[in-house]
Structure 1
Amino acid sequence: MPPTTSSNSWLTARRFGIVIDAGSSGSRLQIYSWEDPDVVLSEQGDDVWDKLPKVEKGVQEGDDWIMKAEPGLSTFADNSEGVHEYLAPLLKHARSQIPPSLESETPLFLLATAGMRLLTPVQQARVLSATCKYLKSASSFRIDDESKDGPCGSSVRIITGEEEGLYGWIAVNYLMDGFYGKDKKTTYGFLDMGGASTQIAFEPSDTLSGDKENLVDVRLRLLGGDEVNHSVFVTTWLGYGTNQARERYVAKTVEHFKETLLETSESSFIPDPCLPKDLILSETLPQIDGSHSIHRLTGTGSFTQCLDRTASLLNKNAPCNTAPCLFDGVHVPAINFASSHFIGVSEYWYSSEHVFGLGGPYDYVQYERAATQFCGRDWSGIVSQHELSTAQGIRGGDGEVMENGEIMEVGKWGKNVELPRLQMQCFKAAWIANVLHEGIGIPRIVDPEGNSTTVGEQVAHQAEVKGLGRPVFQSVDSIGDIAISWTLGKMVLEASKEIKPSSSSSRPLADPIDDIPASTPNPPIKPIRPFWDLDQLLEEHVSPHLPASLTRESLGFSPITILSYAIILIVVSCIVFRLRHPLRVARRRLLRGSFKRDLHGAYAMEEGIATPRPPSPSNSSFLPPSLLRPLRRLVSSSTSSSRPRLTPISTSLHPPSIRHTQASVLSPPPYHNASDGFSTSTSTSHPHSRASSPIAATAPDDTIMTSSRSSISSINPRSRNSSHMNLTLFPRQTLSRANSILQLPDE
């Protein structure tokens, strides 16, 4: 039963927002809430003037603000009809948590990530269209109208990895109070790593932000109405997440073994220093011919060697088109680590905390020692310890347990740590360390005066005492009871949009990707829009070549769009004008279609002659000949100049000089009178066309001439029926139905 605002003070003046994170493995619904900004400002005044709205969980207590559905939305690429059943439980849960009176005011976003990015544009459009249609029909949540982003505007779309990074950057600095206060503070950098990619987002210092065109403006509005603006750099490394990095590592290890050790090795097992000691894993690699090969790797458990082997995967020697570059030739502005501090989420947290228990402030000495000890352990002992920890339901600290700087216990893993995590922990620990230090360049801080402790909290405290400031890097999963997620950053931005600006001239707040000028030659973020967007296509190709006075930003509208639609209108008008007569005829035929009959078929039925066979379906057309002929001339005109023109065959017939000839009876077209619904037919006799009639007879010349004169004299001048044949060449004889007997000479 949905809650009601009248019986719960917590719901009074509360606003809600919903984000569905449609990932590759599943879709996670998250409900957020915040108090109405006007109410907060009126009640607390100056105390909150320079703060952002407080975004919280969408429920007063419990975990009902989150719900997940599996598998990922991308699995419906070829079965968009299944989207309805897939999203129904999520939408039902959201409606059960939000008061009905607030449903129409609650924004709903379904933002798809990695899985949907891998689909073709046609598949993407099909899934997004089905999603949009269902969400609009099954609820009254606030969803955008159709726009260049899709049928549901920005409410249902695919976001880029850079957008994930920007929203994550907003979430981190929001929770770390990086936006509060009138004085501009030094913000935290954001690091995120998943299975397929890794992102970085940070605000370069003023002295190091020379490449302004690579920065994205992030605008937020404080409760007092003032706007804060930060220029953020964000980029993504595809293929540098832990899973894809592992795949590249295995392929390289197998290749190295075949080239150097295969002939001298007595075993078919491939040694792998990134696996715990004596662990054997079978790895499958794709081949060029489409087949797969299976290789068995056995762990040697050397963290030092694993660091060396994985360092080359960073591709630091790749060409750098725009210096400076970090790795894989990707340009990143220079980072001043004396003032820049980073927070890592996702795999940075999992690899540090879930096995080593070292989440939080990062100390490389402590991290390296824990990783070295874990990698060197026998796999059988790790499995035994895992079974014991699972049976005891151990929670909390997963790695070393320390008291007063001394290690008391090791290998204490929580119940949420599974064997696959333990199998890959050595590799992931090495990969995380290499990305942080060899890739991004975070220094391995070693106190020259001699720092014997390896406790992260003590390192952070001593750094502050010595004037070193905050830790350069720390891994975090949540702050307070709010998990750090890019969805939180999206909701902070939406809550900020509801605040009234302090100045009437302030621009409305927008998503960072929508704040990038359309005239930017090489935008740092390119939106994913699988739907056909003529405006966007023309803007991207034409705007950079226009003077600044003719751009959308200076005029307030797009002259390119107006010109393009004007050209389309002129072209369509010219085509319609050229085909106006055939179109008029076609219109009349459609209106009178029920009264029309086949001309020759009607006469044949009246005279008792067999009707001809209907035309072949392959040659038939739903368009009338009067409309087809101009179209055919239009199509063939392009080739008429290059193709030699053939002399047409003359179809006119001349009267032969033979005294005795054959006369044949032709079937003339029947006369249709559409006004009275009756049809009158005439039988005409033409000389010299025996092939056109099934009945022929021989007659003397005088009989023919007499018949011809009689035919001409009997033509009714008011008759609307006319022949396409020349009367001087084909005299015809009009016979009445009562007197239409063919005259034969007496024998």
Structure 2
Amino acid sequence: MRRLNAKAPAVLGHLHSITTRVALQMEAPVFQSRLPSSSSFSLFSQIGAAGSQGKHSRGSGGFWISALAATAAAAFVFFVVCFLSRRSGRRFEIIIDGGSTGTRIHVFAYVIGQGGTPVLDLEATSTLKENPGLSAYADEPEMAGESLIGLLDFGREKVPRSQWGETKVRLMATAGLRLLEKRVQERILDSCRMALTASGFLFRSDWASVITGTDEGIYAWVAANYALGSLGGDPQHTTGIIELGGASAQVTFFSSEPLPSEFTYVLQFGKVTYNLYSHSFLHFGQNAAHEFFREFLSSRELKSDAISPAVESFRDPCTPRGYARSVESDKSWPYITGNFSECRSAVQMLLQRGKGDCPYRQCRLGSAFVPALEGKFLATENFFFTSKFFGLGPAALLSDFVAAGERFCGEDWMKLKRKYPSLEEDDLLRYCFSSAYIVALLHDGLGVALDDQRIVYANEVGSIPLDWALGSFLMLVVAAAAAETADSGQPNWISGEGRFSLLRALVVFVVVVAMGWLAARWKKPQLKTIYDLEKGRYIVTRVTR
């Protein structure tokens, strides 16, 4: 009995242990039904191990996730700042072109692009012209400033008021003022300076000046090659420009031959150096040449036998037939013949005045040296207006001008007036002379063949105007940007080269962070959390890959 009684506790203890395990096993399904599903448990397997593995998990994975998130946020902020800075970083510059036939204001809107080169905002760039030109105030120079009031009002409408004080305004007068005496020039400029000082824009006294013809030609060349996308590239692939203004004509192009120093201009743009030929032919503008031609006729320096040896009468071959002056008593008025070929011959004599005094090996126009033309050319201003009047395209040949001129000069004046009723009489009269002048200037003077296809007649490329004022604006802004960089010693991080350098650095950083995160994820052990029913707690175990 004693032995039986002695074994009883052991048996009871064993039965109690079995009963306990069975009870737990029966309750286990009920408990497990409250556990997270296996799909959502993976997240808790990283966080749920906080009691034993928390610090290790955050150190290896959490850091890289935080770094990647911070980098993405930084990239987003960077692009937002760049976008807003491009909009809010819009700047303005004003150039007033004091031309011979009118004064034109150019309001240039831009942002600084890569390399410090301005990028035009064409939608916000605008221009306005008012007549007459500043030279018309030669007898009343004090009134010249008042002619700018309407133009400056236009400028203030286009530039936000908050930017008036930082927007530079410059007045650059050209051939119209160059023809006047220095004393008269300065009086006109002084009057303009008073108006510019009171405009509210940023202005200095020396920003109102008369520019040289060479500068005018260089500015036009810069504008043309900027519009064509060749500025800053191979000099051999640049395009020359021939301007036919009202009072002067400019010829500028890259030349590979040695040039006299007075006709050479060395232009440095970026890392490229351009050796340019540039010269302005004063009095060779279309209007000035036409007026001089009329004086030439009335002075009878132009002998009739030089035009047509068989006729001894005093003739005007550059006016259409049938035109009659309103003042019939003027007996000095020549007999009108309206003949293109004779008009061209007369213009040739006009262009060769002074050639006997040529000090160079070759003078194509008057006594000025002009090398052989190289490359392609744009012919602008009155070249373009004349080709447009005759319905010729931008790629017209000089032979097309010859044919158009022959038809126009030989036409009856009354028929021409009926055909072009909207044109002023003085403007209509000039087109016979203009067609002959263009052929004589380009073919007989500069040596362009009648079937040469390298000249394009245009006043804009795409939507970019081929105006010397654009070239002056570009050179001034590029020079100012270079000076700012030199003074600070640092690029502009919001625009220009700095923006792209920072962008490259940010991209590299994002790649490095992403690679680090992937590497950490690959090396980090895969953990699995299970519930041990026997021990009554969670156990974290490593899973072999």
Structure 1 residue 57, shift from structure 2 partner:
3.8
1:283-298 matches, cutoff 5 A: 295-298=332-335
2:120 to 44, 48, 55: 55
What amino acid maps onto 2:364 in structure 1? Answer: L
Provide the TM-score with structure 2 as the length reference: 0.65
Indicate conservation of the 8 Å contact 2:100/2:246, yes or no.
no
State the number of aligned residues: 401
Is 1:68 equivalent to 2:129 in the alignment?
A: yes
Is 1:110 equivalent to 2:171 in the alignment?
A: yes
Structure 1 residue 197, shift from structure 2 partner:
2.0
**Corresponding residue of 2:99:** 23
Is 1:179 equivalent to 2:240 in the alignment?
A: no
Q: Which one has the bigger helix percentage?
A: 2
2:219 to 139, 156, 167: 167
**Corresponding residue of 1:305:** 342
**Residues 637-679 of structure 1, C-alpha deviations (whole Å, 9 max, x = no match):** xxxxxxxxxxxxxxxxxxxxxxxxxxxxxxxxxxxxxxxxxxx
Is 1:36 equivalent to 2:76 in the alignment?
A: no
Structure 1 residue 429, shift from structure 2 partner:
0.5
**Corresponding residue of 1:497:** 479
1:694-709 matches, cutoff 5 A: none
Higher relative contact order (CA 8 A, sep 6+): 2
Q: Give me the whole-angstrom Cα distance separating, in 2, the residues matched to 1:486 and 1:315.
A: 27
Provide the TM-score with structure 1 as the length reference: 0.49
Q: Give me the whole-angstrom Cα distance separating, in 1, the residues matched to 2:323 and 2:299.
A: 20
Q: Give me the whole-angstrom Cα distance separating, in 2, the residues matched to 1:177 and 1:293.
A: 54
Q: Give me the whole-angstrom Cα distance separating, in 1, the residues matched to 2:384 and 2:143.
A: 35
Q: Percent identity?
A: 28
SS at match of 2:96: strand
Indicate conservation of the 8 Å contact 2:253/2:276, yes or no.
yes
Q: Give me the whole-angstrom Cα distance separating, in 1, the residues matched to 2:408 and 2:276.
A: 38
Compared CA separation, residues 92 and 83, structure 1 to 2 (3 A) = same
**Corresponding residue of 2:458:** 476
Compared CA separation, residues 83 and 425, structure 1 to 2 (3 A) = closer
Is 1:228 equivalent to 2:260 in the alignment?
A: no
Structure 1 residue 15, shift from structure 2 partner:
1.2
**Residues 347-371 of structure 1, C-alpha deviations (whole Å, 9 max, x = no match):** 11122221x1114123123222222
Structure 1 residue 58, shift from structure 2 partner:
6.7
**Residues 216-269 of structure 1, C-alpha deviations (whole Å, 9 max, x = no match):** 12233xxxxx433312221122222223333443344456599779xxxxx999
What amino acid maps onto 1:143 in structure 2? Answer: F
Indicate conservation of the 8 Å contact 1:442/1:472, yes or no.
no
**Corresponding residue of 1:554:** none
Q: Give me the whole-angstrom Cα distance separating, in 2, the residues matched to 1:100 and 1:344.
A: 38
1:180-195 matches, cutoff 5 A: 180-181=232-233, 183-195=234-246
1:99-498 matches, cutoff 5 A: 99-139=160-200, 141-144=201-204, 152-153=205-206, 155-181=207-233, 183-205=234-256, 208-212=257-261, 214-220=263-269, 226-254=270-298, 270-281=314-325, 295-315=332-352, 317-332=355-370, 334-335=371-372, 337=373, 339-354=374-389, 356-387=390-421, 390=422, 417-445=423-451, 471-498=453-480
Indicate conservation of the 8 Å contact 1:24/1:115, yes or no.
yes
Q: Give me the whole-angstrom Cα distance separating, in 2, the residues matched to 1:259 and 1:26.
A: 35
What amino acid maps onto 1:362 in structure 2? Answer: A
Compared CA separation, residues 497 and 302, structure 1 to 2 (3 A) = same
SS at match of 2:180: coil
Indicate conservation of the 8 Å contact 1:283/1:294, yes or no.
no
Unaligned runs of 5+ in 1: 1-7, 42-48, 145-151, 221-225, 262-266, 285-291, 391-416, 447-470, 508-747
Structure 1 residue 428, shift from structure 2 partner:
1.2
What amino acid maps onto 2:375 in structure 1? Answer: S
Q: Give me the whole-angstrom Cα distance separating, in 1, the residues matched to 2:140 and 2:401.
A: 46
Q: Give me the whole-angstrom Cα distance separating, in 2, the residues matched to 1:92 and 1:440.
A: 43
Indicate conservation of the 8 Å contact 2:101/2:246, yes or no.
no
SS at match of 2:478: helix
Unaligned runs of 5+ in 2: 1-83, 306-310, 490-545
Indicate conservation of the 8 Å contact 1:282/1:294, yes or no.
no
Indicate conservation of the 8 Å contact 1:188/1:342, yes or no.
yes
1:606-625 matches, cutoff 5 A: none
What amino acid maps onto 1:310 in structure 2? Answer: V
SS at match of 1:240: coil
Indicate conservation of the 8 Å contact 1:214/1:233, yes or no.
yes
Q: What value does the CA root-mean-square deviation take over the aligned residues?
A: 3.5
Indicate conservation of the 8 Å contact 2:236/2:254, yes or no.
no
Q: Give me the whole-angstrom Cα distance separating, in 1, the residues matched to 2:304 and 2:173.
A: 44
Q: Give me the whole-angstrom Cα distance separating, in 2, the residues matched to 1:203 and 1:158.
A: 25
Compared CA separation, residues 56 and 281, structure 1 to 2 (3 A) = farther
Q: Give me the whole-angstrom Cα distance separating, in 2, the residues matched to 1:504 and 1:177.
A: 26
Q: Give me the whole-angstrom Cα distance separating, in 1, the residues matched to 2:382 and 2:159.
A: 33
**Corresponding residue of 1:95:** 156
Q: Give me the whole-angstrom Cα distance separating, in 2, the residues matched to 1:118 and 1:255.
A: 21
Indicate conservation of the 8 Å contact 1:32/1:55, yes or no.
yes
Indicate conservation of the 8 Å contact 1:32/1:58, yes or no.
no
What amino acid maps onto 1:432 in structure 2? Answer: I
SS at match of 2:401: helix
Q: Give me the whole-angstrom Cα distance separating, in 1, the residues matched to 2:183 and 2:362.
A: 37
Q: Give me the whole-angstrom Cα distance separating, in 2, the residues matched to 1:505 and 1:258.
A: 60
Compared CA separation, residues 255 and 479, structure 1 to 2 (3 A) = same
Q: Give me the whole-angstrom Cα distance separating, in 2, the residues matched to 1:328 and 1:506.
A: 50
SS at match of 2:481: coil
Compared CA separation, residues 359 and 52, structure 1 to 2 (3 A) = farther
Indicate conservation of the 8 Å contact 2:86/2:111, yes or no.
no
**Residues 129-175 of structure 1, C-alpha deviations (whole Å, 9 max, x = no match):** 33324422341x2224xxxxxxx12x111112222111111111111
**Residues 185-227 of structure 1, C-alpha deviations (whole Å, 9 max, x = no match):** 422111112232212111112xx1243563112233xxxxx43
**Residues 75-94 of structure 1, C-alpha deviations (whole Å, 9 max, x = no match):** 44565554554333322221
SS at match of 2:344: helix
Indicate conservation of the 8 Å contact 2:246/2:287, yes or no.
yes
